[in-house]
Amino acid sequence: MKTTTEEAQAFGTMLVAYGYIYPLQNHKKLVMCNDSSLYRFQTPYFWPTQKWVPDDSDYAIYLAKRNIRKKGVLEPYEQAHYSHLHEWLNHKWDFIVMQAAEQYKAGKERKKPDRVVFDCQERAYWMVNRPPRCAHSAMDCGPERLIDPNTDEKTTFDIYRRKNMFYQQAIMRSKVKSSVSLGALVKYITTYKNHDPLLASCLPSNPWQTDHDAYWTLNMRRVEVPTKMRVERWSFSLFELLSDLRGRDDFKIFLKKEFSGENLAFWEAAEELKWGTSSSMSTKAETIFKTFLAPGAPRWINIDGRTMGLTVKGLEHPHRYVLEAAQTHVFLLMKKDTFFRYLKSPTYKDIQKKALNPEPHNFSPANLEQNALNRSPGIHPIILWQQEEEEKAKAAAASAPVDVKAMMSKIDRKK
């Protein structure tokens, strides 16, 4: 059988990666090099076929032994592992140090060549099973499973009882006919097929194929004049409208004209609480309560008493999803009433008339080469984030609630 150099090198790299042989010079490089580097066969005791599961306690003993031998001078990654294990196994650290000292004394009684060989073998084993951080490990199998899926489960009375309960619940569960499910899928595909870049062409051109950024420029998050395809997508559902920041801004304009923007403002505040930082959660919850839920709040929302009671009680100990019920209630109110009035309003019709319908760009091979040469990096995400934060601050200042009592008191003072 003929074997090429590449195949032999790949096979040798696998042997090194799995710990059957180890390099003598550069022990961190678990790759078979096609040069004069020296390698040595690992002792069968450390082979993966022994199925010896590496334990944290064994690794801690090895690091403690190296720490004694090197007089506190370890590799940076070993020092990091040593500190972590010292904290993690602090309850039995005295036993680990005692074991390391005993092994160090036993090793000194060996002959020097045998001691050097064993140290290299042990170091190679832990290099494979506890590699440095950000290094590839062929032995990485993911998180350790507490239950082996291949083992047969013991049949007991409790197992049959749980299976019986599961089958009863499955029988009682309402099922949808396949014709209804297929009809819903056909309806969804018919609605979205023109907006799928795999089923329909991008207008004016696909930037990934032509290296032309006109598509991204026309579809920026808060572009002044959106495209017709984008405006059409807003009419699919309220979720699509609110997912697009430009559509949400247009929806806010409509709500402002109808003096009913408190529902959307509450929905946005609930989203910020859900996806915001944990440190600001209590402050945001208190602000939301004072603005939308407290009696006489400046932007009080109209929800049923049961939902209001549960929400106010949950705000005593706020968490990310404390406003979930109220947010869902407000979303359904906007979906059933406000959303359809928006689609029939002059605000939406005006944006439909102003929307752009870009013509397709047909680039020749020469144009494509020129576009590739003139390719430039886009706007950095941090800059986009800063711009969004500035726009949010301006929008919040512009849509701040008006305190009628304060306004009336100012008018009375002037009089």
Q: Is the pLDDT of residue 389 over 70?
A: yes
Q: Does 406 reside within a domain?
A: no
Q: Of 250, 338, 265, 340, whose CA–CA distance to 299 is shortest? A: 265
Count of CB atoms within 10 A of residue 203's CB?
Answer: 19
- In this prediction, residue 327 carries a pLDDT of 92
CATH number at 29 reads 1.10.1240.60
Q: Of 232, 241, 209, 198, whose CA–CA distance to 357 is shortest? A: 232
- In this prediction, residue 400 carries a pLDDT of 56
Cα 396 off chain centre by: 28
Buried b (16+ CB within 10 A) or exposed e, 118-132: eebbbebbbbbbbbe
Question: Distances in Å between the alpha carbon of 308 and those of 236, 287, 314?
Answer: 30, 16, 10
Higher pLDDT, 128 or 3: 128
CATH number at 288 reads 1.10.167.10
| Percentage, residues of the chain above pLDDT 90 | 33
Q: Predicted confidence band at 387 (pLDDT cuts at 50, 70, 90)?
A: confident
Q: Does 157 reside within a domain?
A: no
Buried b (16+ CB within 10 A) or exposed e, 226-262: bbbbbbebbbeebebbbebebbbebbbebbeeeebbb
Mean pLDDT value of segment 253-268: 90
Mean pLDDT value of segment 389-413: 61
Range in 101-105, 225-229, 394-398 with the lowest mean pLDDT? 394-398
Domain that holds residue 250: 228-354
Name beta bridge partners: 41.
21
| Percentage, residues of the chain above pLDDT 70 | 92
- In this prediction, residue 187 carries a pLDDT of 93
Q: Does 143 reside within a domain?
A: no
- SS3 percent helix, strand, coil of the chain, rounded to 5, is 60, 0, 35
Q: Predicted confidence band at 391 (pLDDT cuts at 50, 70, 90)?
A: confident
Domain finish residue from 129, 153, 184 = 129
Q: Predicted confidence band at 64 (pLDDT cuts at 50, 70, 90)?
A: very high
Mean pLDDT value of segment 352-370: 86
Q: Does 116 reside within a domain?
A: yes
Range in 21-25, 132-136, 340-344, 359-363 with the lowest mean pLDDT? 132-136
Q: Does 263 reside within a domain?
A: yes
Domain finish residue from 326, 354, 382 = 354
Q: Does 223 reside within a domain?
A: no
- In this prediction, residue 348 carries a pLDDT of 94
Domain finish residue from 96, 114, 129 = 129
- In this prediction, residue 390 carries a pLDDT of 82
Question: How far is 61 from 189, CA to CA, in rounded Å?
Answer: 60
What total of structural domains would you count in the chain?
2
Mean pLDDT value of segment 140-166: 80
Q: Does 180 reside within a domain?
A: no
- In this prediction, residue 339 carries a pLDDT of 94
- In this prediction, residue 404 carries a pLDDT of 45
- In this prediction, residue 33 carries a pLDDT of 85
Instruction: Give the tens place of pLDDT for each residue, 175-205.
Output: 888 899 999 999 999 999 998 888 888 888 8
Q: Predicted confidence band at 259 (pLDDT cuts at 50, 70, 90)?
A: confident
Instruction: Give the tens place of pLDDT for each residue, 367-382.
Output: 878 877 777 766 667 7
Mean pLDDT value of segment 76-105: 91
Q: Could you tell me the two tokens for 5?
A: 């150099």
In the chain, DSSP finds a helix count (H) and a strand count (E) of 21, 2
Residue 9 and residue 117 share a domain? yes
Range in 24-38, 254-268, 353-367, 371-385 with the lowest mean pLDDT? 371-385
Mean pLDDT value of segment 40-58: 88
Q: Does 137 reside within a domain?
A: no
Count of CB atoms within 10 A of residue 52's CB?
Answer: 13
Range in 118-127, 300-309, 371-380, 381-390 with the lowest mean pLDDT? 371-380
